[in-house]
Amino acid sequence: MNASGSSAAPKGTSLPLAVLSETFIRKAKDKTLHVGIVGLGYVGLPLAEAFVRRDLRVTGFDIDMAKVDMLDAGQSYIKHISDERIGSMNASGKFGSTTDFARLKEVDAILICVPTPLGAHREPDLSYVVATTKNIAKYIGPGQLVILESTTYPGTSEEVLQPILESGGLKAGVDFAIAYSPEREDPGNPNFETSTIPKVVGASSTPERDMACALYGVIVPTVPVSNLRTAEAVKLTENIFRAVNIALVNELKVVYGAMDIDVWEVIEAAKTKPFGYMAFYPGPGLGGHCIPIDPFYLTWKARAYGLNTRFIELAGEINSNMPGHVVDRLGEAMNEQLGMAMKGAKVLIVGLAYKKNVDDMRESPALELIDKLRMRGMDVEYYDPYIPVAPSIREHPEVEGMRSVEWTEEALGKFDVALIATDHDNVDYMPLLKAVDLVVDTRNAIKDRAEKVVRA
């Protein structure tokens, strides 16, 4: 171990990675590895907690000093991760966070958990990954393991990360290790957490793969695959599967609606079949950091091979059209049941988060709904128990500063129509049903068939 506390050998070592990997694996078994996690968001912070719970030392790195200050104070900035959990991490003596990337020299493993959004033309935006990797390249030493967890297209680790990391003279697979292990977080899901979800691990050589499996094996079962590209493809496949099936039920919702058939009743009956069917549910569109974005990473990469991903693109088109369908349905229902036009009417969006029981607004269809409803001349407000004040959203600056209304009959009574975009479990819809004459429900949140409830 060097003076900084890392097992990484000094630069210039002649020890082959096969030997260095043995030291790394032994430290994993002894739980003396020092793990560095870059990006302390919805992926990185739960991952840090999982390692700390298994008595590994973790240093978290983030460019946002406000996050570091909150963590140091035992405070959480993610709704489903409590202050108590952050306090427990700090009390363990195994966790610390910093904005000083020079401290990457201290760790044995560097896990990259930064955003991979889409650009304006649905092309991959790897700017966060590239910037992070350039920082790592300044400090990487022999024997260290670098793992990308961010979702991306097959070939990213070899074509983007590896050349940057090798720019200082060390070679991947010879002096240091590279692996890919896609994050599998599902924020707000009470049935699964980081420490209970198996980790897929891919690498270009056996020593590198063994190192990554030894690291993750401390907290979860691992699923090794043959190479980096395969592991990158696994994550895309998981999210493409969801995107395509959600598009299917969204299309069925529209078709069955025209036939006066309740798609929710159809799904509930269909899922009683014990084989050959898996229930997916329609909604007002796709949201979150994965499903609306990840499939198009493969679409973009496929073009380099002269191929088109028609199925994926069709699914994206269907899902992207859902907010417009919901707004049209709301207008029809207002005309039919209230005899009102949309222009000048007051509408309440119920739920601003992209999914229930979280405070995450990334790619939320509610944002598209607000934009489209305002374009129709409606006065829009929202209620969300997890988001008292809407934060800054780059693509939707118009929502910043909006405040959640009070959930009382008196406050709700000023609205002509309510649109349920997110079905948080802790919302009692009775005050809404008493106060508002029309409720458009995109999530089947209100199970009774009250006349004032219209599904969309």
The distance of Cα 263 from the centroid of its chain, to the nearest Å, equals 27
* Calpha distance 173→177 (Å, rounded): 5
Backbone angles phi, psi at 402, to 5 degrees: -60, 145
Structure tokens at 267: 């799904």
Among 421, 454, 450, 422, smallest CA distance to 332 is for: 454
In Å, how far are 47, 110, 399 from 132, measured between CA atoms? 18, 11, 30
In Å, how far are 67, 69, 85, 88, 407 from 75, measured between CA atoms? 9, 9, 9, 11, 27
Distance between the two ends of the chain, CA-based, in angstroms?
61
Q: Which helix (H) or strand (E) holds 381?
A: strand 379-383
β 177-180/199-203 pair status: antiparallel
Q: Which of 161, 213, 290, 358 is catalytic?
A: 290
* Calpha distance 76→85 (Å, rounded): 8
- Name residue, tokens 């990185």: 44
Q: Please report, to the nearest 10 degrees, the dihedral formed by the alpha carbons of residues 166, 108, 185, 382 taken in order.
A: -80
Q: Is 113 a catalytic residue?
A: no
Among 360, 279, 372, smallest CA distance to 320 is for: 372
What's the Rg (C-alpha) of the chain?
Answer: 24
E runs forming strands in 5-123:
34-38, 57-61, 95-98, 109-112
Q: For the chain, how long is the longest CA-to-CA vector?
A: 81
* Calpha distance 208→202 (Å, rounded): 9
C-beta separation of 125 from 118 below 8 A: yes
Single-letter residue type at 310 = R
Q: Which helix (H) or strand (E) holds 232?
A: helix 228-258
Among 322, 325, 323, 316, smallest CA distance to 244 is for: 316
* Calpha distance 232→226 (Å, rounded): 11
E runs forming strands in 125-195:
145-148, 177-180
β 439-441/453-455 pair status: parallel
Catalytic (active-site) positions: 290
